[in-house]
Amino acid sequence: MHSTHLLLEEPIRMASILEPSKASFFPAMTKIVGTLGPKSRSIEVISGCLKAGMSVARFDFSWHDPAYHQETLENLKAAVKLTKKLCAVMLDTVGAEMQVVNKSEKAISLEADAIVVLTPDEGQEASSELLPINFDGLSKAVKKGDTIFIGQYLFTGSETTSVWLEVSEVKGDDVVCVIKNSATLAGSLFTLHGSQIRIGLPTLTDKDKEVISTWGVQNKIDFLSLSYTRHAEDVRQAREFLSKLGDLYQTQIFAKIENIEGLNHFDEILQEADGIILSRGNLGIDLPPEKVFLFQKAALYKCNMAGKPAVVTRVVDSMTDNLRPTRAEATDVANAVLDGSDAILLGAETLRGLYPVETISTVGKICAEAEKVFNQDMYFKKTVKYVGEPMTHLESIASSAVRAAIKVKASVIICFTSSGRAARLIAKYRPTMPVLSVVIPRLKTNQLKWSFSGAFEARQSLIVRGLFPMLADPRHPAESTSASNESVLKVALDHGKAAGVIKSHDRVVVCQKVGDASVVKIIELED
């Protein structure tokens, strides 16, 4: 695997570009989050998505009811059993999202230069002249000359399905707008986004809270994607809410940055959140197009240095209807990997797209090619310099494990962990080889019954680049005798061999606790 490791800075032989990509057990180190919906909810299609490389399934609650999503989730569980591929669950909140309500679901044609009125009276019928919306504070939030965008699955940039409006006047609660481009809106709900306009809606709405405390609790969700995160306080409030809901105190919160307000408070949000989703659909409206790449690069750098997973959205919109991405999209996916993203999130492409499995497979292949030329050496030096000295005990062990693995050309790093923190720290240094994180379950009690922790920690590493979890047998505690450690190590090595990432005579770096000390050791496998 490592002899093929080229760097973009080195001259690449043009012939090597034409060599076919090799298939492997881990399609790519970069993870793929797939949104499940109408075109991707059967056991058969979900199984295909898992085999193609999806490791997190996203459930978007801005459309359809919990019962519908529950059916999809039951199918996901069946597909996980069938394929024997682990998959985490992400609940995506609606948040401070304004929507146009189109009860009749008839297509609405809007003509450039015509006038359309946005009204908070949801009882009205949607038409080319009048669009009812679900928010009564819009007239107070906008002024003449402001820009408003309306579209389904937020503005792919395809100007026939999304429309932009300019506010011409405010009449009581209604907002009168001039239509700037001709478009046809189809479906029952369209998202409405005011460019650089402060919306007085809560980040976690009552509807969101209800979904989390019923559907979320029932299904022990691994991740909460917090839409429209604008301040660190939003994350703190969400965490406080989750902490009172049984097992959900373990759920990780991913802050979705999708407007100027979130961007302005990015540093504080990053400190509070467990991870970040760069929602380029909405952000691309609040930011001038030429600034989007700057935000992506700056935000990914900050996430990488903080050792927190970063997820990039809106990469292959055209694959919603086509089997191949555009050249620009393919390059965009690769650049997201080279910029340091942990995962790629697919929305409409898998939710209602015609080729969900092919899309995941294509994105995975592009990621794998980009990883081959990722400059690990430069990244490692940059990260070590950023962390500074003195390093914490765990940080120094993690960076040493990665340095050793690269120096001895190890095929894999195996890390024993109970909280998942050690494995995430190793992944932070972006080793060129997969990190097998062996999660050792811990026994805990609430005075009524005993239970094992570990499943959350294992699934939550499914969104971190290069981290591949397996749950150890709970009879082997993490800090136990060397004999039981050896048996867990054997299980991990067998798993690696079965997966095809470890062969005889390979070197493997093992990171584990022995008593109170953390140890990094290098083992060479015999036949």
184 close to 107: Cβ distance less than 8 angstroms: yes
Range from 426-430, 444-448, 456-460 carrying the lowest mean pLDDT: 444-448
Amino acid at 440: I
Question: What was the pLDDT predicted at 475?
Answer: 62
Number of helices and strands in the chain (H, E) = 19, 24
Q: Is the peptide bond before 390 cis (omega within 30 degrees of 0)?
A: yes
Tell me how far CA of residue 424 lies from CA of 32, 277, 325, 509, in angstroms: 17, 18, 32, 16
Is pLDDT above 80 for 452?
no
Q: Which CATH superfamily is domain 98-195 in?
A: PK beta-barrel domain-like (2.40.33.10)
Q: Domain map of the chain by residue range?
A: 23-96+202-372, 98-195, 376-525
Indicate the CATH number for domain 376-525: 3.40.1380.20
Contacts of 313 (CB under 8 A, 6+ apart): 277, 278, 279, 280, 281, 344, 345, 347
Coil/strand/helix, residue 46:
helix
Domain 23-96+202-372 architecture: Alpha-Beta Barrel (3.20)
517 vs 348, which has greater pLDDT? 348
Question: Residues 309-331: what's their mean pLDDT?
Answer: 94
Question: What was the pLDDT predicted at 454?
Answer: 80
Tell me how far CA of residue 214 lies from CA of 27, 164, 220, in angstroms: 35, 37, 10
% of residues, the chain, pLDDT over 70: 91
Is pLDDT above 60 for 476?
no
Contacts of 290 (CB under 8 A, 6+ apart): none
Is pLDDT above 60 for 155?
no
% of residues, the chain, pLDDT over 90: 66
Q: How distant is the alpha carbon of residue 470 from its chain centre? A: 20
Per-residue pLDDT of 393-437, as tens digits, reads: 889 999 999 999 999 999 999 999 888 899 999 999 999 999 999
Question: What was the pLDDT predicted at 10?
Answer: 63
276 close to 310: Cβ distance less than 8 angstroms: yes
Question: Residues 136-150: what's their mean pLDDT?
Answer: 93
Per-residue pLDDT of 234-250, as tens digits, reads: 999 999 999 999 999 99
Is pLDDT above 80 for 477?
no
Coil/strand/helix, residue 275:
strand
Under the banding of pLDDT at 50, 70 and 90, the label for residue 2 is very low
Question: What was the pLDDT predicted at 485?
Answer: 67
Instruction: Give me the long-range contacts of 46-51 (CB less than 8 A, separation at least 24).
Output: 46/75, 46/76, 46/79, 47/79, 47/82, 47/83, 48/356, 48/357, 49/79, 49/350, 49/356, 49/357, 49/360, 50/79, 50/80, 50/83, 50/85, 50/87, 51/83, 51/85, 51/357
Contacts of 88 (CB under 8 A, 6+ apart): 55, 56, 57, 222, 223, 459, 460, 462, 463
Question: What was the pLDDT predicted at 31?
Answer: 98
Interior angle at CA 157, CA 40 and CA 352, nearest 5: 10
Q: Which of 16-30, 78-92, 506-520 tops mean pLDDT?
A: 78-92
Radius of gyration of the chain (CA): 24
The H or E element spanning position 377 is helix 376-387
Per-residue pLDDT of 181-229, as tens digits, reads: 898 888 777 889 888 888 888 999 999 999 999 999 999 999 999 999 9
Question: What was the pLDDT predicted at 32?
Answer: 98
